[in-house]
Amino acid sequence: MIELIQFPWSPYCIVQRRILEYSGATFKTVNIPNPVRSLVWKLTRQRYYRVPIVKDGKNVIFETSHDSQVIAKYLDTKFGLNLFPKEFSGIDNLLWRYIENDIEDVGFRLNDSYWKEFVPKNDQLDFLRSKERKFGEGCLSQWRQQQPLLLEKLEHLLIPFELMLETRSFLLSKQPHFIDFDLYGILSNFLFSGHYRLPASHTHLTEWYGRMHKLNPIQVPREKLRS
């Protein structure tokens, strides 16, 4: 059985979890504390310490760079999901960099400003220490104070996707590809605390998010895979 090693609110973990759900595969999630990566370190033979990673029998799959998409491509090949069609090569690469850099940078700050509500108490000290070492002392409270500006910025960053969805059900074509799952994961992280909603002005994006949330493989016709 496939195992997804994760912590539940990580945007990148949500991406892979939703792909696995979409594939119809039987899998289980293994939740680890945010600051404790000893299991990841062990499974990757001391080559990697981030999440998510996927354990598929003897195979342990993890990323090789910040935007390598090794895990998604592995799952795509294994289950024949056609997440990376050749006709969108290059375009999807540009889009996932925009999603994982610009949009994620705003979304995680908004979600993490409510960190005490979803980080287990035993992990809160290490979580706080980790965030402040990376982003500066008081960063979490600062992000809470900056909510109006961050929400305005997020709404602006999402405009291209709202426009893309005016003429189609998914971002690039009539069926979901990796870009859809990538944006879904980043937005699910933003929404994780339960304190936010998608921008009211982005009606197409909101409808798309609902489709992605309920998506089942049998609901979307698969395009013929290209060699």
99 and 70 in a single domain? The answer is: no
In terms of Cα–Cα distance, which of 173, 149, 192, 164 is closest to 8?
Answer: 192
Q: Which residues contact 6 (CB under 8 A, 6 or more apart)?
A: 13, 16, 17, 29, 30, 31, 32, 51, 52
In this structure, the answer to whether residues 30 and 124 fall within a common structural domain is: no
* Residue 225: per-residue pLDDT: 42
Query: How many domains are there within the chain?
Result: 2
Confidence label for 227 from pLDDT (cuts 50, 70 and 90) = very low
Determine the average pLDDT of the residues in 93-101: 97
Residues 46 and 91 in one domain: no
Q: What is the pLDDT of residue 38?
A: 94
147 and 60 part of one domain: no
Portion of the chain with pLDDT greater than 90, in percent: 91
pLDDT tens digits for range 12-53: 999 999 999 999 999 999 999 887 899 999 999 999 999 999
Q: Are residues 147 and 75 in the same domain?
A: no
Among 104, 91, 77, 79, CA closest to 12? 104
pLDDT number for residue 201? 97
Please report which residue ranges of 58-177 form alpha helices under DSSP H: 70-79, 91-98, 104-112, 121-135, 139-145, 147-157, 159-164
**Which residue among 79, 100, 133 closes a domain?**
79
Are 75 and 92 members of one domain?
no
Closest CA to 165 of 153, 180, 178: 180
Q: Is-contact 83 53, C-beta < 8 A?
A: no
Confidence of residue 149 (pLDDT cuts 50, 70, 90): very high
- CATH code, domain with 28: 3.40.30.10
| Confidence class for position 83, pLDDT limits 50, 70, 90 | very high
Q: Do 73 and 185 lie in a common domain?
A: no
Whether 95 and 185 map to the same domain: the answer is yes
- Residue 115 belongs to some domain of the structure: yes
Note whether 106 and 203 are same-domain residues.
Answer: yes
- pLDDT at site 183: 98
Print the domain residue range for 50: 2-79
Q: Is residue 226 part of a domain?
A: no
Same domain flag for 109 and 207: yes
pLDDT for the residue numbered 214: 94
Quick one: 66 and 99 in the same domain? no
In a domain, 224, yes or no: no
- pLDDT per residue as tens digits for the range 150-196: 999 999 999 999 999 999 999 999 999 999 999 999 999 999 999 99
Q: Is residue 227 part of a domain?
A: no
Residue after which a domain boundary falls, among 60, 79, 98: 79
**Predicted structure pTM score:** 0.93
